[in-house]
């Protein structure tokens, strides 16, 4: 049996753990998940909650890692 598709909850938990490990004050409550799976394996989710956060370089680094680990997720929470 193959692994189940990760959910938005998995991404939220991963990012919150990473932000805590870096000492950043941000905690994600939810992510925006597009209603389709991209055939090019580009991520189908985003974190609009962090758009105006000042630590863009560190946040973008963590988002890249999360998108690599979780390129496609379901919105089930």
Q: How many domains does the chain have?
A: 1
Confidence (pLDDT) at 39: 66
Residue 74 lies in a domain: no
How close are the terminal C-alpha atoms of the chain, in Å?
22
- Establish if 1 belongs to a structural domain: no
Instruction: Give the structural domain span for 24.
Output: 8-69
Task: Tell me the pLDDT tens digit for each residue of 26-66.
Answer: 999 999 998 766 666 678 899 999 988 999 999 999 999 99
Within-domain flag for 14: yes
Instruction: Work out the pLDDT band at 3, boundaries 50, 70, 90.
Output: low
Q: Note whether residue 40 is domain-resident.
A: yes
Going by pLDDT thresholds of 50, 70 and 90, the confidence category of residue 25 is: very high
Residue 59 lies in a domain: yes
Q: Is the pLDDT of residue 77 over 60?
A: no
Domain membership of residue 16 (yes or no) is: yes
pLDDT at 22: 95
- 50: enclosing H helix or E strand: none
Torsions phi, psi for 53 (to 5 deg) = -70, 140
């Amino acid at each position: 049996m193959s692994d189940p598709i990760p959910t938005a909850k998995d991404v939220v938990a991963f990012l919150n753990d990473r932000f805590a490990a870096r000492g950043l004050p941000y905690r994600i409550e939810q992510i925006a998940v597009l209603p389709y799976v991209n055939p090019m394996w580009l991520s189908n989710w985003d974190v609009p909650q962090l758009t105006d956060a000042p630590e863009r370089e560190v946040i973008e680094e963590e988002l890249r890692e999360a998108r690599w680990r979780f390129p496609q997720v379901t919105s089930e929470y």
